[in-house]
A and B are shown apart, each in its own frame.
Chain A
Amino acid sequence: MLAFMLRRFIYMVVTLFLVSILSFAIIQLPPGDYLSSMVAGMSAEGQQVDQQFINAMRDRYGLGDPVYVQYWKWISGIVLRGDFGQSFEWNRPVSSLIYERMGLTLLLSVATLFFIWAVAFPIGIYSAIRKNSFGAHLATLVGFIGLAIPNFLIALVFMYLSFRYFGQSVGGLFSPQYENASWSLAKVGDLIAHMWIPIIVLGTAGTATLIRIMRANLLDELNKPYVTTARAMGHPEHVVLLKYPVRVALNPFVSTVGWVLPGLVSGATITAIVLNLPMSGPMLLRSLLTQDMYLAGSFILLLSTLTVIGTLISDILLAWLDPRIRYS
């Protein structure tokens, strides 16, 4: 197990290295360098540009140096000092812009993941065991509807419902009075009260998919001879089901950490815009549109890192759950 984890960890580091090169390449994509754009922008607005400042920046990012030096200066700043560079659109350090958003994004994603699990697990098992029951067909129908309706539409419906029947402020993760307040217990409570809408909206498609995967997997497992063996040994029906086939059918559940998290972190952009969520998606989109490359590159780097870490966690969980993976 330890060797397995070590191997996976090394893979992860290699992947992260490649991802960082890619992010760096994206930052370099627009013609000219970031500094010239900034200077051009500032002069266009009629501001005086301080030559000393320009020189300091030039040195800081290694502009004019060979590419690998520039890369080194950029990545070492991130890894060693948490310095992601400067957002020229906001004229602030990137790090000050993204931390809160990444934090909320992560929080919302993890909460959504647990929501997906909590709903999909029992319904998936139920619809496999009673595969021809009314409830199973209903779950399939609701699941298909959930998959077919675009998230932003579900979001609009929920916004209407929450406004009309619960009198909540529409959109966002906070009520207006907490928006810019510093963190307190009351703010946390307000966050939780607002979070259920995005959780349901973001989780619907994943839940529907996972129910289908769980159902299909369990149906496969239920017909395997080892289930008959367990039954033939006299185990009661719930043990026959939960201890043996459900254990095996759990694998895709764990793998979801690998694909749901990145999907939520990067794919929820439209929902986040509709619901006005302070998540990473809208800001990434905006930074790409305005060619705010240090900001965009940092987002891409962080999102990819989250994806890779998510995959690592799911791999380790899988190996822990399934000895066949652990020993191969």
Chain B
Amino acid sequence: MTQPLLEISGLKTHFGVGGTTIRAVDGVDLVVNPGETVCLVGESGCGKSMMARSILRIVPPPGQVTAGQINLHRQSGKVVDLAALDPKGAEIRSIRGREVAMIFQEPMTALGPVQTIGSQITDAIQLHLKVSRKEARNQAIEVLTRVGMPRPEQRLEAYPFQLSGGMRQRAMIALALSCQPRLLIADEPTTALDVTTQAVILDLIRDLQAEMGMAVLFITHDLGVVAEIADSVAVMYLGRVVERAAVDDIFHNARHPYTRGLLRSIPRLGIRVGEELDTIEGMVPNPFNRPSGCSFHPRCVEMIPGRCDRVDPSRTRLPDGTEVRCLLHEPHRQETAPAGALQ
């Protein structure tokens, strides 16, 4: 097996707000291999964005990475634990944008409003690649061409507000790819776009990935997107990864009741009018008072009374490689979870 590019274990990102703690990310384990697309799925508010920001150490205050490791295998061969770095320090800054880049959900506001697209891209290139202004400009044109921006030379001089949503997201992708990162984190990059544009941007990311050989951590709550692009999938629930598997296993052999619930709630072709769509019962609990035992048990259709509400399931690795946190699967070969992941 190749060396994983990114290995996250027991990652916790907490928001301390006036004495109470919101556990936005509460013990996430995740692996991203070079060149692979990992989809991170889960309902809104389950901590996907905070987990992604934790990797780059750009969690907004009062949020903080409080525990766990984020091991990145750097280009130089060195392994760094991003969770241990100073979020304002030089080392993490040399990684941001250069080795790990991120695309955000809001193409409308994610680019600086008063600088041209070109100046934002060339600034990034000059920051990381130490090239002349002219060379940076050429590279900016090249990357804009690569993301399919028509007339890239002119677009260099355009301001974000002069571009449509789809074009802005292309510009954002161009910015993220400008220094050829090895990992691209895309946080719901198509959610704010119309359906046609969504498909175009999705294809674009997939093509660019094949072309540049980078790994992608793609965050979405749309399982349709997952089916289209993922190699492997991590399902998050209340700040934890509850199931991690290859994409086919997720769709054909989902183990966690939450994953199965998500799959049942996808509208299918051929559903009859009036027939109800299955949904997962109940609401996502508030992240400050997470239920005892397995945090999914109040909504779980397969809940084992007396057990699921008391015992917090640990990470179980099944023979086919799927990892799941569910007591239904605990009797299988059990892997000891890293310290700190269990609480």
Contacts and interface: CB of A to CB of B under 8 A. Distances in A.
Interface of A: 223-226, 228-237, 243-244, 247-248, 321-324, 327
B98 interface: yes
Contacts of A324: 113-114, 159, 161
A290 B106 CA distance: 63
A229 B111 contact: yes
Contact of A229 (B60, B104, B128, B162): B104
B127 A235 contact: yes
Contacts of A323: 114, 116, 159, 161
Given A225-B109, A225-B110, A226-B111, A232 B56 contact: yes
Interface of B: 53, 56, 58, 60, 88, 93-98, 101-102, 104, 106, 109-116, 123-124, 127-128, 159, 161-162, 172, 175-176
B268 to A, nearest CB: 35
19 contacts: A223-B60, A224-B109, A225-B106, A226-B111, A228-B104, A229-B111, A229-B175, A232-B102, A233-B175, A234-B124, A234-B128, A235-B93, A235-B127, A236-B93, A243-B112, A243-B123, A248-B114, A323-B114, A324-B161
B98 A234 contact: yes
A147 to B, nearest CB: 30
Contacts of B123: 233, 235, 243
Nearest to B158: A323
B112 A226 contact: yes
Contacts of B128: 234
A232 B59 CA distance: 10
A234 B95 contact: yes
B58 A321 contact: no
A321 B188 CA distance: 32
A228 B49 CA distance: 12
Nearest to B178: A233
- Describe A's contact surface by its main secondary structure: helix
Given A234-B124, A247-B112, 15 more contacts: A225-B104, A226-B111, A229-B110, A229-B111, A229-B112, A231-B96, A232-B97, A233-B175, A234-B93, A234-B94, A235-B93, A235-B97, A237-B88, A323-B159, A327-B159
Contacts of B159: 323-324, 327
A228 B58 contact: yes
Given A225-B106, A228-B58, A323-B159, A233 B127 contact: yes
Residue of A231, A232, A323, A327 with most partner-chain B CB within 10 A: A232
B270 to A, nearest CB: 39
A232 B181 CA distance: 12
A322 B162 CA distance: 13
B97 A233 contact: yes
A232 B114 contact: no
B96 A248 contact: no
Contacts of A322: 114
Contacts of A224: 109
Contacts of B115: 243-244, 247
B50 to A, nearest CB: 12
Contacts of A236: 93
A327 B115 CA distance: 13
A234 B112 contact: no
Contact of B110 (A223, A226, A243, A248): A226
A225 B189 CA distance: 13
A226 B105 CA distance: 11
Contacts of A248: 112-114
Contact of A226 (B96, B109, B162): B109
Contacts of A321: 114
A234, A235, A324: most-surrounded residue (chain B CB, <10 A): A234
Nearest to A325: B114
A-B pairs with lowest CB-CB distance, top 6: A234-B96, A233-B97, A234-B97, A225-B110, A323-B159, A225-B109
A237 B162 CA distance: 28
A225 B128 CA distance: 21
Contacts of B58: 228, 231-232
A233 B124 contact: yes
Given A232-B58, A234-B124, A234-B127, A244 B112 contact: yes
A232 B96 contact: yes
Contacts of A229: 102, 104, 110-112, 172, 175
A186 to B, nearest CB: 46
Contacts of B116: 323
Contacts of A226: 109-113
A235 B112 CA distance: 13
B75 to A, nearest CB: 14
A258 B137 CA distance: 38
A230 B115 CA distance: 12
Contacts of B104: 225, 228-229
A321 B124 CA distance: 22
A243 B116 CA distance: 12
Residue picked from B60, B94, B114, B172, most chain A C-beta under 10 Å: B114
B108 to A, nearest CB: 9
A16 B342 CA distance: 75
A19 B115 CA distance: 38
A3 B312 CA distance: 68
A247 B111 CA distance: 13
A322 B114 CA distance: 6
A232 B101 contact: yes
Contacts of B56: 232
Contacts of B114: 247-248, 321-324
Nearest to A244: B112
Given A323-B159, A324-B159, A327-B159, A233 B111 contact: no
Contacts of A237: 88
Given A235-B123, A235-B127, A327-B159, A230 B112 contact: yes
B177 to A, nearest CB: 11
A105 to B, nearest CB: 34
Contacts of B94: 234
